[in-house]
Amino acid sequence: MASPESPSVGFTLEPVVLELGRRFVDAGFELSLVGGPVRDLFLGRRSPDLDFTTNATPDETLGVIKGWADAHWEIGRAFGTIGLRKDGFQLEVTTYRAEAYDPESRKPVVAFGRSLVGDLERRDFSMNAMALRLPSLELVDPFGGVQDLHAGVLRTPGTPEDSFSDDPLRMMRAARFASQLKVDVDPEVREAMAAMAGRISIVSAERVRDELVKLVNGASPRVGVDLLVETGIADIVLPEVSALRLEVDEHHRHKDVYQHSLTVLDQAVALETGPDGPVPGPDFVLRFAALLHDIGKPATRRFEPGGAVSFRHHDVVGAKLTKKRMRELRFDNDTIKAVARLVELHMRFYGYGDAGWTDSAVRRYVTDAGPLLDRLHRLTRSDVTTRNQRKADRLSFAYDDLENRIAELAAQEELAAIRPDLDGQQIMEILGIKPGPVVGRAYRFLLDERMESGPASEGEARAKLLEWWAAQPESAEGAGSARLAEDEAGEKGNE
């Protein structure tokens, strides 16, 4: 690419981009590729988005693209945006904006602008405030975006206070870009984030969630999370993570839970697999569980006699806190359940190396993890951050042994699909009962037997079921035993 002083930039764009530019110019309008796609060209990356800006109004944009676009939509028309699809590409064309926000409102008040530079000035960061005029490919960079990209620093086109006042979500975007692009945040931007952190509370939970997902899935999520915590933004959007900064007493009786959690996050990222592996990265569920796995510790910390520190049941408490926070951030139920389940299970492995597990315990571990097993393997391994190499080696060896046992049992018993040896229909036929709660109780009994003793033949399972049934109050024999016990109790009461 040419230097920022050059009137043009030499590289190849998709033909559809240049063709759209010619259509606008032939119609008497301006059109520029803008924002992230231009930034990504300088970074040597292919942008998933193709965003354009123009001096044409939405009605005039529709006049240019109708008959040429394969399809178009007007969902963002009130904000000046027309979307279209052409030759398999999705494009958005937005009228120049001069945008102002009501300080107390979550929604922007849109005013259309008159110039490209004016439009760029209202964008979030200088590296996103660059444009390529089309079809000439003239670079427009009035705020030093190329220079900031080369320096690896995130700055705003105007003052950060004005930028964040316009849209407080930009503070989270700063943390997201720090994670995605591995850039430093300018000190003035960082100071403004800390001073204005409270304004993030007026942003909708859905917008905050989307930025958080992009941050966590970035190349360096630790950097982004740390920026949110240091500036106080996490106090509002992820207060449970901020609370991990427990004070370490003078005897250093426990490690820094916050820094430990960031290290676990780093190590979980390193254990993700390629696209053909069991946990392709970036995997949000694994990463978010790694970040949140210890958020139950502040509420469960106890100083024991003798100076020890305990966090009993922090896994269970942490799972509940995870669900609560993710619901408030409007995550979908499947993602909430997956992350919370990993948090709940992350301590299950400990003790295996000391006491060993029966085959039954191994089966339960696999069954409880279900489709999360490969993520649980990685989370558990990531949770080892001790500097004691002997302890780290012992835990690693123990988990290697557990995984080998899981593999051996899986080869014998298809652990991932463990079911009782009799299904619901067979249970009803054998016991002569109709669908209802009793069938569920019988099913759970047989599942426990399957976990404890491994697979059984149909005859063996039938015998166990009948033995169990004889002791139940609903069966004829069980009911008789129950009446006899009641009679005996009554007789004793009359004595």
**Domain containing 195 — which CATH number?**
1.10.110.30
State whether 131 and 172 are in the same domain.
no
Percent of the chain at pLDDT > 90 equals: 58
Q: Is the pLDDT of residue 120 over 60?
A: yes
Q: Residue for token digits 């001073």?
A: 195
Q: What is the residue whose two structure tokens read 């109790």? A: 489
Decide: 302 and 332 in contact? Cβ < 8 Å.
no
242 belongs to a structural domain: no
- Please state the φ and ψ torsions of residue 132, each to the nearest 5 degrees: -115, 115
d(CA 207, CA 172): 10
Length of the chain: 495
Same domain (yes/no): 309, 273 = yes
Q: Which residues contact 71 (CB under 8 A, 6 or more apart)?
A: 84, 85
Interval 249-296: pLDDT, tens? 444 444 589 999 999 999 999 999 999 999 999 999 999 999 999 999
Cα gap 190→159, rounded to integer Å: 12
141 and 158 inside one domain: no
Looking at the structure, do residues 440 and 333 belong to the same domain, yes or no?
no
| Residue 249 falls inside a structural domain | no
Q: Could you tell me which residues are beta bridge partners of residue 185?
A: 154
248, part of any domain: no
The last residue of one of the domains, among 370, 396, 417, is: 417
Task: Give the total number of structural domains in the chain.
Answer: 4
**Same structural domain for residues 263 and 382?**
yes
Q: State the alpha helices, DSSP H only, in 91-204.
A: 116-121, 145-151, 160-166, 169-181, 187-195
Q: CB of 8 within 8 A of CB of 2? A: yes
Question: Do 297 and 383 have their domain in common?
Answer: yes
Whether residue 441 is found in the same domain as residue 413: no
159, part of any domain:
yes
The answer as to whether 245 is a domain residue is: no
Q: Choose one of 361, 391, 417: the last residue of a domain.
A: 417
Based on the fold, state whether residues 283 and 328 are members of the same structural domain: yes
pTM (predicted TM-score):
0.79
Spatial contact of 227 and 218, defined as CB atoms under 8 Å apart: no
Tell me, what's the pLDDT at 109?
61
Q: How far, CA to CA in Å, does 339 sit from each of 180, 285, 307, 450?
A: 22, 5, 33, 28
Question: The tokens of 381 are what?
Answer: 């391994």
Residue 366 lies in a domain: yes
* Mean pLDDT along residues 21-34: 97
Q: What is the mean pLDDT of residues 126-134?
A: 96
Do 41 and 85 fall within a single domain?
yes
> How many other CB atoms are there within 10 angstroms of residue 3's CB atom?
8
pLDDT in the model for residue 398: 85
Q: Which domain does 273 fall in, by range?
A: 254-417
State residue 1's pLDDT score.
37
- On whether both 183 and 42 belong to a single domain, the answer is no
Q: What average pLDDT does this structure show over 460-483?
A: 74
Q: Does the pLDDT of residue 389 top 80, yes or no?
A: yes
Peptide bond into 298 cis (omega under 30): no
Has residue 296 been placed in a domain? yes
Whether 278 and 394 share a structural domain: yes
Do 146 and 168 reside in the same domain of the chain? no
Q: H-helix or E-strand containing 493?
A: helix 476-494
Q: Which of 9, 13, 30, 18 is nearest to 116 (CA)?
A: 30
| β-strands 153-154, 184-185 pairing | parallel
As a whole number of angstroms, the distance between CA 279 and CA 286 comes to 9
Is 247 part of any domain?
A: no
Decide which of 132, 151, 170 is a domain's last residue: 151
Which positions ≥6 away from 368 have C-beta within 8 Å?
A: 345, 348
Q: Residue 324 — very low, low, confident or very high, per pLDDT cuts 50/70/90?
A: very high
- Judged against a pLDDT cut of 70, whether residue 103 lies above it is answered with no
Question: Is residue 54 a contact partner of residue 28, using CB atoms and an 8 Å limit?
Answer: no
pLDDT at 248 over 80: no
